[in-house]
Amino acid sequence: MGTMSVEVPEIDQLLAMTSPARYGDELPDEGGRGGALHLSSVLPAISSAIGHPIPTAIHADPKRLQEALGLPDARSAVVVLVDGLGYWNINMRLGHSPYLRSLMADGVNQRPIATCMPSTTVAAMSTFGTGTCPGLTGMTGYTQLNPDNGEICQLISFKNAPAPLKLQQQPTIFERLAEQDVRVTSSGLPKFAFSALTQAALRGSDYISNDDPRRRIMTAAKAANTPGLTYVYLRDVDKIGHNYGWDSDKWIGTYERIDAQLSLLRRSVPKNTLIVIVADHGMITADPEACIDIASEPQLMRGVANVGGEPRCVMLYGEDGENPEDIAARWRDVLGERAQVRTRRQAIEEGVYGPVDERVKSMIGDVVVSAAGSTTIVDSRTQAEKAMHLPSVHGSLTYMESDIPCLIDVA
């Protein structure tokens, strides 16, 4: 057992930019991030823990991942993904979560793992579901270029996007377990059962839907009686964080309810069930005074045909004949330390998206801008007022956004 709590750094440290996480089966070097301690490692590691190891295009050795994450062997496992509940968001509000606080007392849980870049739901869900990376899944941001029509598409609802299976061609862990006749069950909201995002990132399970939160938890607990894997998705922390702020009273109330649901799951699953709790990303509080509207900055719009991504990670698609290096130079001149600016070539060379399939390259912006501190970057020409002024956001490379939990419990 470890100490009763994790030491939480000062907020300035949590808002500092990290290096992009690496992909692979090794533990990260001193000061490094990712590798075996990465969101992409979780399902391959669990597949090994339940006796049906599934290697992926990124991870060749699921057993090594299982050992690195500290997962014990189990006949049955439940993995819960809590949207938006970053590692530091948990630890800054542990007083409101008795069950999560009890898990944080265990040394194996006193370390974050890394999510992908960008630290946002569509990229992270496909990274999690396939055990790979955005450079292979083709899901590189909330919005991105659709190469079929040259227009910007949105990947939560897949508005104006390629068909889910055309865009995201990596097999999911759920699919591959089901091919081995392993039970794979998802317990979630009816609206997500056949959604485009589920088809793209999480296809392959037996999806049992229910509108009632308690019944969803009890469905997952019942499923765990049969050997195999159960998946539970909890979305409200992210939803409330975007609408009211991640540290608002409404968020704290939601956080308390999520903790109670997780505690109910723990009490209800069969003995010796492995429980793993993860998130897709963390959240930061946006600074309204640090909001940059690119529509009012002519220098930023020079040579830019389309803008994708989201307020914390913007992707710029250049006009025909425009040199991405020139666009990047202009953005660096205007934004200075308020953002990290990479060309697509630089981002790929640095491994920001993991290995990048040739068909995915054009989906990534010619220039990728990661907001620093509490800065947000918006575009009033295309975004609604509410979307430009969300109180809490995510997507960039700060510790607060990119450190996520991988909490382990055994009933």
> Tens digit of pLDDT for each residue in 104-137?
999 999 999 999 999 999 999 999 999 999 999 9
- In the chain, the domains with their CATH numbers are 11-284+398-410 (3.40.720.10), 288-392 (3.30.1360.180)
Q: How confident is the prediction for the chain on average, in pLDDT?
A: 96
Residue 3 has pLDDT above 60, yes or no: no
Could you tell me the CA-to-CA distances from 345 to 2, 249, 356, 365 in Å, in that order?
Answer: 43, 43, 11, 10
What pLDDT, on the 0 to 100 scale, is given for residue 4? 58
Q: Measure the CA–CA gap between 1 and 228, rounded to whole angstroms.
A: 28
3-state secondary structure 310-329: ECCEEEEEECCCCCHHHHHH
Q: Measure the CA–CA gap between 50 and 270, rounded to whole angstroms.
A: 15
> Tens digit of pLDDT for each residue in 173-205?
999 999 999 999 999 999 999 999 999 999 999
Question: Which of 237-241, 306-310, 380-384, 398-402 is least confident?
Answer: 380-384
Q: Measure the CA–CA gap between 388 and 288, rounded to whole angstroms.
A: 9
Tokens of 39: 């969101």
The mean pLDDT of 133-154, rounded to a whole number, is: 97
Q: The whole model's pTM is what? A: 0.97
Instruction: Say if CB 350 and CB 20 are below 8 A apart.
Output: yes
> Tens digit of pLDDT for each residue in 28-66?
988 889 999 999 999 999 999 999 999 999 999 999 999
Residue 5 has pLDDT above 80, yes or no: no
> Tens digit of pLDDT for each residue in 290-318?
999 999 999 999 999 999 999 999 999 99
